[in-house]
Amino acid sequence: MQLEYVSTICPYCGCGCGINLVVKDGRIVGVEPWKEHPVNEGKNCIKGKNAYDFLYADGRLKRPLVKENGSLKEASWGKALTLISEKLRNVEPNSVGFINSGRCTNEDLYVLQKFARVVMKTNNIDNASRFCHSTTVPALVSTVGSGVMSTSEISVEEADCIFIAGVNIKETYPLISRRVQRARDNGAKVILADPRATVTARTLADTHLSLNPGTDVALVNAMMKIILDEGLEDRDFIEKRTKGFEELKNHLSSFNLNDAEKVTGVPAEETEEAAVAYAKAKKGCILYNAGVAQHSAGIENIVALADLALITGNYGRPGTGVNPLRGHINGEGFGDMGPVPVFYPGFRAANKESAKLFEGYWGVEGLPSLAGMTYMDMVEKCSILYVMGANPMVSAPDTNRVKTMLGEKAFLVVQDIFMTETAELADVVLPAATWVEKGGTTTGVDRRVQRINKVVEPPREAKPDWEILCKLAQIMGFEEKFSFGSPGEIFEEIRVCVPQYSGITYDKLKEAGGIQWPCPSEDHPGTDTMFVEKFGTSDGLGHLQPADYKSPAEVPDEEFPYIFTNGRVMFHYHSGTMTRKTERLTNEVPTALVEINSDDAKEKGIKNGERITLESRRGQIAAIARPTDNIGKGTIFMPWHFSESGANVLTGPSAGPPSKMPEFKLCAVKMRKG
Ligand code: SF4
């Protein structure tokens, strides 16, 4: 039998790299480079090079499971869907919630939100972006009018100063890190703000600002104060393209750089060096992620970054802007499609006007017009929860509490590819097809809409998410509204409802590299750089806003003296559902290693490889210690991919409006040997 090569997109991070899957006898047997793909030019990180093993791992869900007498038993699709439909028919709109994930395609997410709104008449729908970039959207919408990456990942290499904040880019976005390296090879200066001396700090950054966790606003305000004091702001840009400068200037006038040094722990001369380099750059580019966004003060952090870019004129040209790096393959699409409580598709606010608009699009009445519940509110308050492709038992904060709340649900449905920790608690588990078993589109970090091709058949009775939802909607009497026969048909409806996608045709997406939205007409090539002439705000101006430092929701004290923070490693992805079932990746990093400062380790008598226990106010976990000088005294870091040492057992749910972002990146813990 001949080998067949089918090109598609890597299923992991939002970089959206192309891969060629090697197929033999209907089974994927390897990954080959896709050299013509403009994003990655044939290069892939280790996850991309092994992006198929997990498809054939033990534990793939292949038939529906229904709980009987306390245990899950195989059942027919008819029985499983009928049971779900009966439960859903008898629940109030505000008592049901839908949780989804950026692992799903645009088509899956579009159909899910349509199901929630049309069939269940609820806006109770949210996704894991609540835990990543729910701070990004209000911060960037209020300053520049849109929460998206404004340059393209390819154009990053045009920058001559790159300020990376709160992201270990070499491990978590390796192919964007490659662009940063290229820029640096061409003379760009790379500044990193990160509490840890990560591989990015050691090998990519020219300047590493090792700030105390959670003090980003103070650092960025200090940079702006220096820029204004030294007259390095871009007066022309401020005058023509922004408003609110005087207010910001007044706010910063009383800002004390000595206080900033004490709060951030960054020596004043290092802050000044970074501020001057960024302000003097012709094209300054800011890249940030969870280390900035995943805080209860995430909005203030990001507003400050936007202010910094605006006062230096670093917007509207390739290689500039304030650019959120989104973690999932469909990291941008799972905002665009509207599977969130505050937006209908195309970022239309969940209000009466949008409800009317979509009643017209969909030919229905009575769509919900008030914002729905956010992720954790649904986990806490809804009696019926439908979870598609997400694993709150690992990715939501305060795992013990989440387990209790999920266990108390009147009815829990989980639709996934494996028996996850959340699926184990479900009343019905539905087997889903993976990305290569269904086709569709995804939209990556830089608004790049790409087509993923169906490569192989799903195992046994597993089905695409969108198809499962359509069948359920049909059983519930909505045949005509959910009569989609293919991802292409769904994409046609998306084009109508999401203006940013209106010029993108499913056929045009066959080309390598896809199309970046906004794409207003079929002859439009897509948009590399946003805000070239005006911002997305109502008046087209960038809105400068003062942002104040506030201390994190939980700080160390005598009982819990260490700051605990967490993140990702190169070899694993999110809750590990796929990477931990990939032999090569698991061999590299089989378990959670906890980084603790070498002096802290000595004080506690803890040696490399020894077992330790970490305890917060919410729970305790056991893991393996890795003393290192790459982390500051008093700080502890661990990756969060490993449910058996679940970082989120420790983290707290504290989250305020409007983002409802938990304080993921910071909580207080104590540590002991053994
Ligand atoms: Fe896949 Fe991201 Fe690695 Fe590219 S950088 S190969 S998209 S995991």
Kindly report the pTM of this predicted structure: 0.91
CA of 79 to the centre of ligand 1 (A): 39
Give the whole-number percent of the chain exceeding pLDDT 90. Answer: 77
- Between 298-311 and 136-144, two packed helices, what is the crossing angle to 10 degrees? 30
Which is higher by pLDDT, 238 or 662?
238
Judged against a pLDDT cut of 70, whether residue 653 lies above it is answered with: no
Q: Which two tokens stand for residue 547?
A: 């942002």
Instruction: Compute the Cα dihedral for 51, 53, 56, 58 and give only its sign.
Output: negative
Distance (Å) of CA 383 to CA 380, 412, 555: 9, 8, 34
In this predicted structure, what is the pLDDT of residue 674? 86
Distance (Å) of CA 183 to CA 149, 180, 187, 242, 472: 18, 5, 7, 28, 50
Exposed/middle/buried for residue 243 (C-beta within 10 Å: 0-12, 13-18, 19+): middle
Q: Which two tokens stand for residue 452?
A: 């993923």
To 10 degrees, the CA torsion angle through 238, 244, 248, 253?
80
Question: Ligand 1 within 6 A of 442 CB?
Answer: no
Vertex 646, ends 595 and 199: CA angle to 5°? 35
C-alpha–C-alpha distance, residues 500 and 519, integer Å: 6
Using pLDDT thresholds of 50, 70 and 90, give the confidence band for residue 398: confident
Which bin fits 313, alpha (ψ -120 to 50), beta or left (φ > 0)? left
Question: Ligand 1 within 6 A of 445 CB?
Answer: no
pLDDT in tens, 598-636: 999 999 999 999 999 999 998 899 999 999 998 889 999
CA of 231 to the centre of ligand 1 (A): 41
Mean pLDDT for the chain overall:
92
CA of 644 to the centre of ligand 1 (A): 25
Instruction: Assess contact for 519 and 504: CB atoms under 8 A.
Output: yes
| Nearest atom (ligand 1) to Cα of 12 | 8
Using pLDDT thresholds of 50, 70 and 90, give the confidence band for residue 639: confident
In this predicted structure, what is the pLDDT of residue 666? 77
DSSP symbol at 296:
T
C-alpha–C-alpha distance, residues 143 and 321, integer Å: 12
In this predicted structure, what is the pLDDT of residue 650? 86
> Residue by residue, what is the 3-state secondary structure of 73-105?
EECCHHHHHHHHHHHHHCCCHHHEEEEECCCCC
Q: Which two tokens stand for residue 186?
A: 């061409």
Which bin fits 550, alpha (ψ -120 to 50), beta or left (φ > 0)? beta
DSSP symbol at 527:
-
Average pLDDT over residues 9-16: 90
Instruction: Assess contact for 48 and 35: CB atoms under 8 A.
Output: no
C-alpha–C-alpha distance, residues 118 and 135, integer Å: 28
Instruction: Assess contact for 125 and 413: CB atoms under 8 A.
Output: no
Instruction: Assess contact for 481 and 527: CB atoms under 8 A.
Output: no
With b for 16 or more beta-carbon neighbours within 10 A and e for fewer, the 606-627 pattern comes to beeeeebebbbebbebebbbbb
| Nearest atom (ligand 1) to Cα of 51 | 1
Q: Which long-range contacts (CB under 8 A, 24 or more apart) does 40-45 make?
A: 40/15, 40/175, 40/178, 43/17, 43/175, 43/178, 44/10, 44/17, 44/19, 44/175, 45/17, 45/174, 45/175, 45/570
Q: Side chain identity at 666, as an amino acid letter?
A: L
CA 240 to chain centre: 33
Of the candidates 647, 646, 655, 651, which has an alpha carbon nearest to the alpha carbon of residue 667? Answer: 651
pLDDT in tens, 550-573: 777 788 899 999 988 887 777 887
Using DSSP, state whether 557 is helix, strand or coil.
coil
C-alpha–C-alpha distance, residues 126 and 20, integer Å: 32
Judged against a pLDDT cut of 80, whether residue 644 lies above it is answered with: no
C-alpha–C-alpha distance, residues 331 and 199, integer Å: 24
Question: Ligand 1 within 6 A of 15 CB?
Answer: yes
CA of 289 to the centre of ligand 1 (A): 16
Using pLDDT thresholds of 50, 70 and 90, give the confidence band for residue 295: confident
Using DSSP, state whether 237 is helix, strand or coil.
helix
| Atom 4 of ligand 1, nearest CA residue | 17
CA of 388 to the centre of ligand 1 (A): 23
Give DSSP secondary structure letters for 170-235. HHHSHHHHHHHHHHHHTT-EEEEE-SS--HHHHHT-SEEE-PPTT-HHHHHHHHHHHHHHTT-S-H
